[in-house]
């Protein structure tokens, strides 16, 4: 993998090809994530040279993900970590997800995020998703003001359509966009990725491992319990799941031939796709981070690229649902 730093739009910031996605560390995606394991997982990323940490105000009902980052960076130099957070989504009682992008609301969330993280600035602040009840320019204006005030060094936007992206960028200096993308879910390739590339906006992608499926350890008879949010995603049930596992099996010979593990092959492929700036993988323990970090040393060759392209073509479109 080409590990050279990549520009975060025109912000002057640079980022490596891999970042740690800290959503699973919130404890909200499945049972069994302890605060200690969350801190150790972030520390493992920093120790492996993966310094970009992606979190959000709503990652945890009380910001558990941001709190884990704060504990992991305590005692390290703040500038050694590149921290992105997001605003505009919060939880109402009963774990009801609420998208609220009103300026006064998101300003309050950012102040709380900074307190939780124990820092006076973010490196990157995203609008997590557009609030359908107000013009996106109102939310963008608030992020633009927070950029001018130094609360963040750069601004991004996530989970947008192309018209929303264009309107956001017209109202606020935009450095980054964050969307889902992996071998089987490449919808952004049609419009959003080319637009970002031609407008100098960096693309950070989530779900590179398709919520763990492309890491290659899921057994064929796996049924997620209702405590695991993956039970709601159609790619993990019935025929769809079996066909996705067939796809995973078709990748294994390439990983073996290249002498790498499956998640490394997948992350290395994702990081080299044109227009992709940074690949945000999630992890639930330090061992997963250590395995995934080996992608930095994984070198694909043309034979692997062609075989992956063929496997993707043979699999065809997959069932999915939106994150937000
Ligand atoms: N902007 C948005 O709206 C949005 C939405 C979603 C995500 N994100 C960001 O993007 C990041 C990445 O997305 P994601 O975490 O949902 O999905 P992902 O990176 O596709 O999958 C992460 C999951 O895969 C499993 N895994 C990771 N490495 C593994 C390994 N080496 N072996 C076996 N299993 C492994 C872990 O789950 P288990 O151990 O539980 O199996 C882990 O939680 C998030 O953490 C978040 O920061 C943003």
Helix (H) or strand (E) holding 103: helix 103-117
Residue 254 lies in a domain: no
Structure tokens at 240: 């769809």
Instruction: Tell me what pLDDT residue 102 has.
Output: 98
What's the 170 CA to ligand 1 centre distance in angstroms? 31
The tokens describing 89, both together, are 């989504």
Please report whether residue 82 resides in a domain. Answer: yes
Establish if 249 belongs to a structural domain: no
Provide the number of structural domains found in the chain: 1
Predicted TM-score (pTM) of the model is 0.98
The verdict on residue 5 lying in a domain is no
Q: Domain for residue 221, yes or no?
A: no
Q: What is the DSSP string of 54-93?
A: E--TTSSTT-HHHHHHHHHHTTS-GGGSEEEEEESEEEET
CA distance 130 to 137: 10
pLDDT at 293: 98
Catalytic residue among 57, 59, 206, 233: 59
Using CA atoms, how far apart are residues 274 and 272, in angstroms rounded to an integer? 6
24 CA distance to ligand 1 centroid (A)?
6
Note if 233 is an active site residue.
no
Range of the domain at 139: 14-216+267-298
Identify whether 231 is part of a domain: no
Return per-residue pLDDT of the chain as tens, 324 residues: 999 999 999 999 999 999 999 999 999 999 999 999 999 999 999 999 999 999 999 999 999 999 999 999 999 999 999 999 999 999 999 999 999 999 999 999 999 999 999 999 999 999 999 999 999 999 999 999 999 999 999 999 999 999 999 999 999 999 999 999 999 999 999 999 999 999 999 999 999 999 999 999 999 999 999 999 999 999 999 999 999 999 999 999 999 999 999 999 999 999 999 999 999 999 999 999 999 999 999 999 999 999 999 999 999 989 988 999
Residue 214's SS3 state is helix
CATH number at residue 273: 3.20.20.100
27 lines ligand 1 (CB under 6 A): no
Cα gap 241→90, rounded to integer Å: 31
In a domain, 292, yes or no: yes
Read off the DSSP letter of residue 176: E
Ligand 1 pocket residue status of 65, Cβ below 6 Å: no
Task: Confirm or reject: Cβ of 30 under 6 Å from ligand 1.
Answer: yes
Write down how long the chain is: 324
Question: CB atoms < 10 A from the CB of 215, how many?
Answer: 22
236 is a domain residue: no
Predicted local distance difference test score (pLDDT) of residue 320? 86
Is 54 close to ligand 1, i.e. is its CB under 6 Å away? yes
């Amino acid at each position: 993998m080409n590990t050279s730093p990549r520009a975060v739009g025109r912000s002057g910031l640079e980022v490596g090809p891999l970042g740690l996605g800290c959503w699973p560390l919130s404890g909200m995606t499945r049972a069994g994530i302890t605060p200690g394991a969350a801190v150790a997982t972030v520390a493992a990323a920093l120790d492996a040279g993966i310094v970009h940490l992606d979190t959000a105000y709503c990652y945890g009902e009380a910001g558990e993900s941001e709190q884990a980052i704060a504990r992991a960076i305590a005692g390290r130099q703040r500038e050694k970590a590149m921290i992105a957070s997001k605003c505009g989504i919060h939880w109402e009682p009963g774990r009801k997800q609420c998208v609220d992008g009103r300026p006064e609301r998101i300003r309050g969330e950012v102040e709380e995020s900074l307190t939780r993280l124990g820092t006076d600035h973010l490196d990157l602040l995203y609008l997590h998703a557009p609030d359908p009840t107000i013009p996106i320019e109102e939310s963008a204006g608030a992020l633009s003001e927070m950029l001018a005030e130094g609360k963040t060094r750069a601004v991004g936007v996530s989970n947008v359509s192309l018209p929303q992206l264009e309107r956001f960028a017209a109202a606020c200096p935009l450095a980054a966009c964050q969307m889902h993308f992996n071998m089987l879910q490449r919808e952004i390739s049609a419009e959003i990725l080319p637009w970002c590339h031609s407008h100098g906006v960096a693309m950070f992608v989530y779900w590179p491992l398709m919520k763990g499926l492309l890491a290659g350890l899921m057994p064929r008879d796996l049924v997620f319990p209702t405590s695991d949010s993956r039970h709601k995603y159609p790619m993990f049930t019935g025929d769809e799941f079996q066909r996705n596992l067939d796809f995973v099996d078709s990748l294994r010979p390439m990983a073996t031939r290249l002498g790498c593990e499956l998640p490394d092959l997948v992350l290395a492929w994702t990081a080299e796709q044109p227009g992709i700036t940074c690949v945000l993988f999630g992890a639930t323990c330090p061992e997963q981070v250590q395995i995934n970090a080996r992608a930095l040393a994984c070198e694909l060759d043309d034979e692997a690229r062609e075989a992956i392209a063929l496997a993707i073509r043979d699999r065809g479109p997959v069932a999915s649902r939106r994150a937000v």
